[in-house]
């Protein structure tokens, strides 16, 4: 197995990130630094990252977490803030699939399956994500919803059309197929409705459901397969 794939399967990082870890000289095989992500290795090769041994591929797991506000969507935080990984004690290396702003809440996936994480977050697969936004500026008008559906011109270019519906006077749901930084907040602000609170309620075929903030559950094999099929457009 190629070294980058071995590291991804072992839960070190996504395959793309694992390639960068290797090129940075952080990986040794049999005690020697290796910078070639395509190097063939197996569980008996003595692979280590930053001096810590990496065993064979772990059992792959995916957890659905209800991220609370104030928790960051990273595996570790240099500022010492709580992370989504801290909330899912699984006894192995885990990392989040994509990001949610620290003040946002809702559905985020945490996994040790680097290949699946890369599949779900790659822009070409356009896995839909649905957000519920509580906004300022009074009841959201039909004209504002129409602009959101048609696409908004932002400083980094126009957004793709989104599905938008009004849940209540100042609450809307947006389904996006893109993953730009702070996209929902910027789109809503552009139509005169700054976001006061934001929650992701759906990721592909998965819904947040009735999980309380901070709670998580492990996805079944069938749910993981549905996610994979959603990313592949099947």
Q: What is the pLDDT of residues 123-135, one digit of tens each?
A: 788 899 999 999 9
Alpha-helical (H) ranges within 38-113 are none
Q: Exposed, middle or buried by CB within 10 Å (0-12, 13-18, 19+), for 189?
A: middle
Which pLDDT score is estimated for 56? 56
> Is the per-residue pLDDT at 11 higher than 80?
no
Please pick, among 36, 77, 86, 101, the residue that the annotation labels catalytic: 101
CATH 3.30.70.580 location in the chain:
62-123+206-232
pLDDT at 72: 96
Q: Which residue has the tokens 């998965």?
A: 206
Active site residue 101: yes
**Matching CATH number, 3-53, of 3.40.109.10, 3.40.1710.10, 3.10.290.10, 3.40.390.10:** 3.10.290.10
Going 183 to 211 to 97 to 115, the CA torsion angle's sign is: negative
pLDDT score at 123: 78
pLDDT in tens, 110-120: 998 888 888 89
CA pair distance 125, 8, nearest whole angstrom? 20
Report residue 28's pLDDT band, with 50, 70 and 90 as the boundaries.
very high
pLDDT tens-digit series, residues 49-69: 888 887 655 567 899 999 999
* Fold type of domain 62-123+206-232: Alpha-Beta Plaits (3.30.70)
Output the CA torsion 165→168→170→176 (10° steps). -20
Q: Per CATH, which fold does 128-203 belong to?
A: Alpha-Beta Plaits (3.30.70)
Tell me the whole-structure pTM to 2 decimals.
0.75
State the span(s) of the chain assigned CATH 3.10.290.10: 3-53
Q: Where in the chain is the domain with CATH 3.30.70.1560?
A: 128-203
* pLDDT 10s digits, 179-234: 888 999 999 999 999 999 999 999 999 999 999 999 999 998 889 889 988 888 76
Three-class DSSP labels, 7-40: HHHCCCCCHHHHHHHHHCCCEEECCEECCCCCCE
Helices (H) and strands (E) in the chain, counts: 6, 15
What is the Cα–Cα distance from 73 to 62, expressed in whole angstroms? 15
Pairing of strands 32-33, 27-29: antiparallel
């Amino acid at each position: 197995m190629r070294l980058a794939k071995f590291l991804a399967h072992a839960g070190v990082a996504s395959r793309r990130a694992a390639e960068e870890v290797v090129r940075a000289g952080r990986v040794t095989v049999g005690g020697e630094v290796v910078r070639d992500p395509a190097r063939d290795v197996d569980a008996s090769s003595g692979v280590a990252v930053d001096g810590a041994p990496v065993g064979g591929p772990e059992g792959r797991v995916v957890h659905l977490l209800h991220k609370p506000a104030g928790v960051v969507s990273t595996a570790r935080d240099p500022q010492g803030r709580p992370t989504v990984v801290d909330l899912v004690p699984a006894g192995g290396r885990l990392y989040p699939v994509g990001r949610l702003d620290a003040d946002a809440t809702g559905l985020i996936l945490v996994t040790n399956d680097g290949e699946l994480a890369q599949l779900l977050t790659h822009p070409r697969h356009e896995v839909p994500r649905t957000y519920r936004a509580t906004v300022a500026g009074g009841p959201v008008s039909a004209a504002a919803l129409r602009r959101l559906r048609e696409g908004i011109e932002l400083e980094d270019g126009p957004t793709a059309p989104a599905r938008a519906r009004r849940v209540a006077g100042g609450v809307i749901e947006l389904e996006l197929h893109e993953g730009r930084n702070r996209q929902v907040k910027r789109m809503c602000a552009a139509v005169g409705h700054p976001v006061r609170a934001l929650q992701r309620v759906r990721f592909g075929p998965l819904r947040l459901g009735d999980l309380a903030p901070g709670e998580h559950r492990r996805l079944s094999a069938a749910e993981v397969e549905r996610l994979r099929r959603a990313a592949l457009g099947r």
